[in-house]
Amino acid sequence: MLNLIVLSLSLNNLQAWLIDVGFSSEFYFLKGLQIPWYFFIAPVFYLFVIHYFNIDNKVSVRVKHLVIFFGIELIARILIILYCQYYLKDFDVKLLEDYNTIEEIINVTIAIVFIIKSIKIVFFKEEYHNFIASYDNLLWLKVFLYFGCISIVFWLFAIIVNLQLDIYWANYPLRICTSFLIYWIAYQGVYKYDLLSDRKAIRHALSKNDNALAIKESKNQITPFCDIYQDDFNNIDTYIKSNYRFLDTSFCMDKLTDELNISSSHISKVINSCSGHNFSDYINNFRVHKAKELLSDHDFLDYTIVAIGLESGFNSKSTFYAAFKKFTLQTPTEFRANSK
């Protein structure tokens, strides 16, 4: 679906550019056949959102409905072009221009409706976020919607200006904005969607094999004070490993404090004394062990390194690479290559 959005944006901008540079056919029919590619953008984005959030599995059926509506618009345009060409004197184009305006008003209204529906899901419908929350912070979707709203404003501006003044540059702000949307969807959108697919597949594979979550004991740099805190450390260590809390990308000292009802200062003192690490490094050590396990497993060779890092509990690629290098003295890429 993201590819369809990129295709629609690209074809729409290409068609507009060809018209601007005067690359137009001398045939009246082809000159008037300005295909409304932009029709698909907002509705298909909404369908992607409900699919991405796992709200509706009947997306393919809905796409067919969009194609039918698009076909009706296209047939209506063809009939009006033929009527103007063969039944009106001197190829009077006013009827076609009026249809263009009506078509744009209909399509911008449809776009506004679907953008609003998408905004409600992404920004306000928290109950729909349960499925996706552990995979994606949704920032890239929010950025797309911000620029989508700006595009709608520019679109309305172009319609109003063209009705009143017919200024040649009225559509330029809209084209600039849609050009950014092409980049954003083609790069961020496709990347994020592929990453999500990998993470879901990895998580599904791990859920079928409990042994894949086994964490090897790491060598702790025990301090002289460890004997005092050994029991507390064992309780904390067992809790984190048995509940796989390190896999939670948002896991922090405050969360552990609330869950165990122990003060953060005491937890910090216990972990520093018995592990030789601060809290962040202590948790990241578990995550690195998990990542090493997956990177060296041939069953996970088809998944991206970033997806493996995120499924090991890291919240970003940069954090994953930095921690991995710190504990192993090599990058995840080098480690995977040496493990083959």
Backbone angles phi, psi at 36, to 5 degrees: -80, 65
Contact 19, 35 (CB under 8 A): no
Handedness of CA 198, 333, 288, 321 (dihedral sign): negative
Dist CA 324 CA 24 (whole Å): 57
Contact 276, 222 (CB under 8 A): yes
Homologous superfamily of 210-339: Homeodomain-like (1.10.10.60)
pLDDT per residue as tens digits for the range 123-169:
988 888 877 777 878 889 999 999 999 999 999 998 888 887 777 78
Least Cα distance to 195 among 57, 303, 122, 320 occurs for: 303
The single residue listed with the structure tokens 């056949």 is: 33
Res 211 pLDDT > 50:
no
Residue 42: the pLDDT is: 92
Dist CA 197 CA 200 (whole Å): 5
Domain edges within the chain: 2-206, 210-339
Residue 89: the pLDDT is: 62
Dist CA 339 CA 316 (whole Å): 23
Residue 213: the pLDDT is: 46
pLDDT per residue as tens digits for the range 3-62:
888 888 888 888 888 777 766 666 666 677 888 898 999 999 999 999 888 887 777 788
